Structure 1
Amino acid sequence: MPADQLVSLASLVVKTGRYARGDNLLPSIQSQKAKVVILSEGCGANRSKKIQDKCAYYQIPLIMLNPLRFNAISSKVQGAMSVLDEGFAKSILNQAKLDSSLQLFNV
């Protein structure tokens, strides 16, 4: 299943440290260092809207992921993460395009 490969790639991103989360997430979007943002559907409404609006304004691709799959990425990441590495981002976007159950924005 393509989404499992997407989760595997996102887990590798976390292991390499080429991601931003928490307080560093929005600045990474604003500085356009973020190449793709992965957002859990279980994220709070206010934070989710803020992240979606920032991604739309700065034209950063956004992937909405099922909370169960998102939680499988890492225990460090909660709610949302941005991928800073361009190679990983391209691979993640390619896998996301193969999975019709995912919501993609700004792609």
Structure 2
Amino acid sequence: MDQQKQWMSLLGLANRARKIVSGEELVIKEVRQVRAKLVLLSQDASANTTKKVQDKCRTYKVPVVTVQDRFLLGHAIGKDARVVVAITDSGFAAKLKTMLD
């Protein structure tokens, strides 16, 4: 299995375990409440969204990993296009981070 399929299936698993939050506002909220352990941001997010998410994550020391595009991110969690996803479980976050680095 290639790297991409691996992290996508892990993200899908985290989603089924209800350990992720998607959507800009919800992700920012999780980061603020220090519940987000890792944030996945699509490369095709708007400049505004990218800046907002990266600044917020930098402030709260939450790692941000960029993924290919919004459709990939959405597909991994069985939804339509998603620009930003936060992982709220440290186990899933650590594993995803090693796969995506």
Q: TM-score, normalised by structure 2?
A: 0.85
Following superposition, which runs of at least 4 residues in structure 1 exceed 6 angstroms of deviation?
none
Q: Is the 8 A contact 1:20 1:83 kept in 2?
A: yes
By how many angstroms is 1:77 displaced?
Answer: 6.0
Aligned residue among 73, 78, 81 for 2:82: 78
Aligned residue among 24, 39, 48 for 1:37: 39
Q: Judging changes above 3 Å, is the alpha-carbon distance between structure 1 residues 51 and 13 closer, same or farther for their aligned structure 2 residues?
A: same
Q: CA RMSD in A?
A: 1.6
Structure 1 residue runs without a partner (length 5+): 98-107
Residue 64 of structure 1 aligns to a residue whose secondary structure is: strand
By how many angstroms is 1:69 displaced?
Answer: 2.9
- Give, in whole Å, the separation in 2 of the partners of 1:65 and 1:54: 18
Q: Is the 8 A contact 1:21 1:77 kept in 2?
A: no
Give the paired residue count: 97
Q: Judging changes above 3 Å, is the alpha-carbon distance between structure 1 residues 71 and 21 closer, same or farther for their aligned structure 2 residues?
A: closer
Q: TM-score, normalised by structure 1?
A: 0.81
What percent identity do the matched residue pairs reach? 25
Residue 37 of structure 1 aligns to a residue whose secondary structure is: strand
By how many angstroms is 1:4 displaced?
Answer: 2.0
Q: Is the 8 A contact 1:35 1:84 kept in 2?
A: yes
- Give, in whole Å, the separation in 1 of the partners of 2:18 and 2:87: 9
CA-to-aligned-CA distance 1:73-107 (integer Å, 9 cap, x gap):
1315611010001111111011112xxxxxxxxxx
